[in-house]
Amino acid sequence: MNSKTSPTSSRTDHSGLLALILLFTFTLTAGAQSSLSWTNNLLTFRDPRIPGGSLDIFYLEAFCRPGGHDRNWSLTRVPHQTRLIDSAADASELRFKSVIGTNFVVLHEVRTRTNGLEMTFLLSNHGTDPLDLQWFQPACIRVDRFTGRDQATYTERSFVFTAAGRTPLARTRRTTEALYTGGQVYLPPWIQPLDANPRPVSLDRITNGIIGCVSADDRQILAVASDRTFELFEGVYVCLHSDPWIGGLKPGESRRIRQILYLIPNDPALLLRCYQEDFPDTGNRW
C-alpha cells in the first residue's frame, strides 16, 4: 500500500467552521438590542444590524380560501380580527389572537432571536363544521430600505431557489398574465396554480421554501421560510412573502405552523444550513 497521502485527501473543509465564526461575529450586536412593536397591523422589528435600524412588516395580512387565482381577491380573503394580547417587558416577544367568525382562532407569537425573528401559529377550529381555509399571509415584509431598491429594481437583489440554484427574481421565468398584474408567485410542486394568489405565476417551481434578498451594501441577507409552504410571493409594495399552507381544518382540529425570518451575513450556504436546522423535516416534502 502506498503510504503517501494524496494532496486532495489531506485538505480540510473549513467552510462550516468559517460560517459559524461569521454568524457568531454577526450576532454579537443582536440580543438585547433587538425589539418589537405593533401598531395598526404594522409590526416593527428594530435591530442595529438592519439598514436604517428597523424593518416594517404588515402583520397579519390575510387568511384565504382555495381556488383564488382567477377570482376577485375580496372573495378569496376571509375577514379576520387580530389583537395584541401580551408583550414581553423587554419588547423581545409579542403575543396575538386572530379570530375569524366565532369558531376559528389563531394564537400566534413573534419573538426575536439572534439571527432574526421566529413566528409561531396555533390554528384551531372550535366549530362543528369543516373550515376550508387553504393558506394565509402572515407577514408582508417591506424590503425597500434593506435592499436600497424600489419596485422596479428590487427583484435584482431578491431571490428564490429553483432547479438552477439560488436565482434572482429578475432572472426567473416570469409571466405577466393574471387577474391582477404586477408581482410574481412562486409555487412548490404540490400546489395547483388555480389555488394560487391571483397574481402572475412564475414558470419556475421552487425547490425549497426560502425567499430572500441581499442588503444594499452586500453584507447581509434577509430571508423568510416556513415549515408548510403554500407559495413564495414577490409583492407590489417592495415586499416579500412566505405564505404557509393550512390545508383546511376539521371540527375540533388544530395545527401548528412555524415561520422564521433570517437576518444573517451574506452567505448563501449559511442560509441553507440555518433553514435545514430549523426545518429538518422540510426536505422530505420537496
Q: Could you state, in order of their start, the residue ranges of all structural domains in the chain?
A: 17-281
Tens digit of pLDDT at every position of the chain (286 positions): 444 333 333 344 455 555 555 555 555 455 458 999 999 999 999 999 999 999 999 999 999 999 999 999 999 999 999 999 999 999 999 999 999 988 999 999 999 999 999 999 999 999 999 999 999 999 999 999 999 999 999 999 999 999 999 999 999 999 999 999 999 999 999 999 999 999 999 999 999 999 999 999 999 999 999 999 999 999 999 999 999 999 999 999 999 999 999 999 999 999 999 999 999 987 667 8
Write down the pTM of the prediction: 0.89
Vertex 260 angle, CA 256 and 261, to 5°: 150
- Which fold, 17-281? Beta-galactosidase; Chain A, domain 5 (2.70.98)
SS3 category, 223: strand
Question: From start to end of 130-282, where are the E strands?
Answer: 135-137, 140-142, 158-162, 165-168, 184-186, 211-214, 220-226, 229-234, 239-244, 254-265
pLDDT, residue 285, reads 72
HSE, CB side, 13 Å, CA atoms: give it for residue 78: 18
In this structure, are residues 162 and 204 in contact, taking their beta carbons and an 8 Å threshold?
yes
The long-range contacts involving 19-23, CB below 8 angstroms and separated by at least 24 positions, are 19/267, 19/269, 19/270, 19/273, 22/265, 22/267, 22/270, 23/115, 23/264, 23/265, 23/270
| Other CB atoms within 10 Å distance of the CB of residue 224 | 25
SS3 category, 263: strand
HSE, CB side, 13 Å, CA atoms: give it for residue 207: 9
